[in-house]
Amino acid sequence: MKSQRIAVFISFVAGIVFVLVTAAPAAQFSLVSVEQEIEIGQQVDAQVRKEVPELRDAQVSEYVRSIGRRLVRQAPGPKYAYSFSVADYREMNAFALPGGPVWLHRGVLHAATNESQVAGVLAHEVAHIAQRHAADQLTKAMMANLGLGLLGAVLGNGGGASAAQMAAAFLTNGIFLKFSRDDEREADAVGLQLMRRAGWDGRGMVELFEILQREARRNPTSVEVFFSSHPSPQDRIARLQSDVGRGAGGTRDTPQFQAIKARLQKMSPPRAMPRN
């Protein structure tokens, strides 16, 4: 009897929270605090570092970080400690972890033909973080299918343990691969603003999507990961093109980018992502 009542109460509370989640705009309601988000991101990043080979080249790393820093200065939202790392993978992809870490696959640097294209990819990822999309996804996942155990951990005892639980849930559910279509659209739009304010030509973002489309026809496996985690470039190109049209301008390329490309060509080729 008692447990029944508790169960009813719990589902009542869950019901209220669910109503709050569905009624409020995603950005305004979150079960994950900024501090928890940063902690989750650090734990997930530590795990990623165990599995993903980082390209350890001081010049390439510093170049990518310098683009990242310029974008971050324009980013809205909490002051996250953003970091930028290059994965030594040939497939084109990039991803953002909660609260700061951004990873760029080396394949993007090989495929891009000018700097603004790389800035566009990084701007999209910075926008995911700045708009707290991971916190939104985690909140939704907790409400939808991770059960009340995790919800209790979040609402109850705060601090390290719950962040660890969320980090584990984040990894096992591949949440960072599953931003919603709306989140992707927002990351494109906000990312475009970021890159322009930071001084790059917004056309770079559209051009990178065009490169992805060409690659998809030429060598589908090289863009498979990207397409498993992102909507098709077709819609995105159409939508962005009208935004970009209203004011092209800004930096398209730099000698530094071409020097980095030449440097990468001289290194041993990037690895293929392990397939599972």
What's the burial of 41, exposed, middle or buried (CB within 10 Å: 0-12/13-18/19+)?
A: buried
Question: Smallest gap, in angstroms, from Cβ of residue 269 to Zn ion?
Answer: 26
Rounded distance, CA 111 to CA 56, Å?
A: 19
- Asked if 105 and 118 count as a contact pair (C-beta separation under 8 A), the reply is no
Q: 177: which DSSP letter? A: G
Question: Smallest gap, in angstroms, from Cβ of residue 258 to Zn ion?
Answer: 27
Question: Smallest gap, in angstroms, from Cβ of residue 164 to Zn ion?
Answer: 25
- Asked if 80 and 129 count as a contact pair (C-beta separation under 8 A), the reply is yes
Nearer to Zn ion, 89 or 264 (CB): 89
CB atoms within 10 A of CB 209: 23
Only one of the segments 109-117, 177-185, 211-219, 253-261 lies at the binding site for Zn ion (rule: CB under 5 A); that segment is 177-185
Rounded distance, CA 50 to CA 7, Å?
A: 40
Which of 120, 103, 96, 121 is closest to 37 using CA atoms? 96
Only one of the segments 34-42, 68-76, 113-121, 185-193 lies at the binding site for Zn ion (rule: CB under 5 A); that segment is 185-193
Instruction: Tell me, residue by residue from 128 to 167, as one string, x for binding to Zn ion by CB under 5 A and - for no binding.
Output: ----------------------------------------
Question: Smallest gap, in angstroms, from Cβ of residue 124 to Zn ion?
Answer: 6
Only one of the segments 12-20, 187-195, 241-249, 265-273 lies at the binding site for Zn ion (rule: CB under 5 A); that segment is 187-195
Nearer to Zn ion, 153 or 190 (CB): 190
Nearer to Zn ion, 184 or 207 (CB): 184
Which of 177, 67, 72, 83 is closest to 133 using CA atoms? 177
Nearer to Zn ion, 75 or 163 (CB): 75
- Asked if 121 and 96 count as a contact pair (C-beta separation under 8 A), the reply is no
Only one of the segments 108-116, 186-194, 247-255, 264-272 lies at the binding site for Zn ion (rule: CB under 5 A); that segment is 186-194
Question: Smallest gap, in angstroms, from Cβ of residue 2 to Zn ion?
Answer: 47
- Asked if 190 and 138 count as a contact pair (C-beta separation under 8 A), the reply is no
Number of residues that bind Zn ion (CB under 5 A): 2
Question: Interface residues with Zn ion (CB under 5 A)?
Answer: 184, 187
